[in-house]
Amino acid sequence: MEFLVFGHGYSAGFLTPLLRAEGWHVTGTTRSDPDRVAAAGATPLLWPGSEDRLRQAIARADGILISAAPDLERGDPVLADFRDALAQATPRWLGYLSTTGVYGDRDGGWVDEDSVLDGSGPRGQARIRAEADWRALADKAGLPLHIFRLAGIYGPGRGPFEKVRKGTARRIIKPGQVFSRIHAEDIAQVLLASIKAPAPGTAYNLCDNDPAPPQDVIAYAAELLGLPIPPAVDFDDADMSAMARSFYQDSKRVSNRRIRQDLGVTLRYPDYRSGLQAILKAEG
Q: Is residue 39 part of a domain?
A: yes
Q: Is residue 170 part of a domain?
A: no
Q: Is residue 185 part of a domain?
A: yes
Nearest CA to 66 out of 38, 28, 97, 90 is that of 97
List of E strands, the chain: 2-6, 25-30, 43-46, 63-66, 93-99, 110-111, 145-150, 152-154, 171-173, 181-183, 203-206, 232-234, 253-254
215 φ, ψ (degrees, to nearest 5): -65, -25
Do 252 and 100 contact (CB within 8 A), yes or no? yes
| pTM: predicted TM-score of the whole model, two decimal places | 0.97
Q: Give the model's pLDDT for residue 247.
A: 87
Q: Is residue 165 part of a domain?
A: no
Q: Is residue 243 part of a domain?
A: no
Do 143 and 86 contact (CB within 8 A), yes or no? yes
Q: Is residue 216 part of a domain?
A: no
Question: Which bin fits 6, alpha (ψ -120 to 50), beta or left (φ > 0)?
Answer: beta
3-state helix, strand, coil in the chain (%, to 5): 40, 20, 40
Nearest CA to 89 out of 140, 48, 130 is that of 140
Q: Give the model's pLDDT for residue 283.
A: 85
Q: Give the model's pLDDT for residue 129.
A: 97
Q: Give the model's pLDDT for residue 120.
A: 81
Q: Is 203 helix (H, G, I), strand (E, B) or coil?
A: strand
What is the domain-level CATH number for residue 32? 3.40.50.720
Q: Give the model's pLDDT for residue 244.
A: 87
Q: Give the model's pLDDT for residue 25.
A: 98
Nearest CA to 34 out of 57, 54, 11, 8 is that of 8
Domain count, the chain: 1
Q: How many whole angstroms separate alpha carbon 246 and alpha carbon 117?
A: 18
Range of the domain at 74: 2-155+181-209+253-269
Q: Which ranges of the chain have pLDDT less than 50? A: none
Q: Is residue 265 part of a domain?
A: yes
Distance of CA 128 to the CA centre of its chain: 15
Q: Evaluate the CA torsion angle 12, 251, 255, 230 in order and state its sign.
A: positive
Q: Is residue 283 part of a domain?
A: no
